[in-house]
Amino acid sequence: MIIDVSNIIGRHKFKPEITAQSLLSQMDKAGIDMAVVNCYAESIDNASVEQAFKSYPGRFIGLYTVNPWQDNAARELEDALANKGFKGLYMNPLRHGYMLCEHQVFYPLLEVCRKYQAPVWCYGAAEVFTSPIFFDEIAADFPDVNIIMGRMGLQYDNASAVAIGKRRTNIYLETSSSMDFNTHRAIKALGPDRVLLGTGTPEAGYFELELLKVRNATKGYENGEAKVLGENAARIFHIK
């Protein structure tokens, strides 16, 4: 089974809408079995995500997006996880205006994820708001929450992302936007058990390129390709 942990669905104020049907068409063409989907952080459209995974329950896994500055953010997230079928949290500090060292802003959301054993996908690029080094303390404070570092440093800070992942076993690195050698470095340092296929479709990459990159990087690792392409994600998201 191939599971891609980084995809966008929904409406945007300025960009064309991404529908479940259009994403499914691309997935089928590339041989992607399931996609973890979220909406644009700056144009929150959780309704389209919910409609996608309820209409195609075997193909989509929904991450809930909420602006942590909102007073009711934690209650809204809990309702999404407890009652609506969402399986995790999507965080993008760049779009919502907080730094990952401002724990009081978003830690209430992580407490909810801890309660429901829900993973967190968080943008982790070489930016002052989202530097990979911030993930170290977060992972230490929430050792029982699986945290996916999206973009794993985004080229410029991949070495730090890999170092943090090596130190914290609840950190997972996903491959979208990474150069080929960064994917090799992540798998070599962490092993194939804590790296996840991510494409960032349609914003960051596309399926065929990311599949090729992962398959090249997992050569020589026992069951490495199967783990990175799907087994690790299935374990994190409790997919049988």
pLDDT tens by residue, 43-77: 999 999 999 999 999 999 999 999 999 999 999 99
CATH label of the domain that carries residue 84: 3.20.20.140
Residue 154 banded pLDDT, cuts 50, 70, 90: confident
| Torsion angle (degrees, nearest 10) of CA 136, 138, 139, 140 | 80
Residue 206 banded pLDDT, cuts 50, 70, 90: confident
Domain count, the chain: 1
Domain ranges, residue 75: 3-235
- What phi-psi label fits residue 177: left (phi over 0), alpha (psi between -120 and 50 degrees) or beta? left
Pair 147, 139: CB distance under 8 Å? yes
Q: Cis omega before residue 68 (within 30°)?
A: no
pTM above 0.85, yes or no: yes
Pair 147, 172: CB distance under 8 Å? yes
- In this structure, is residue 240 part of a structural domain? no
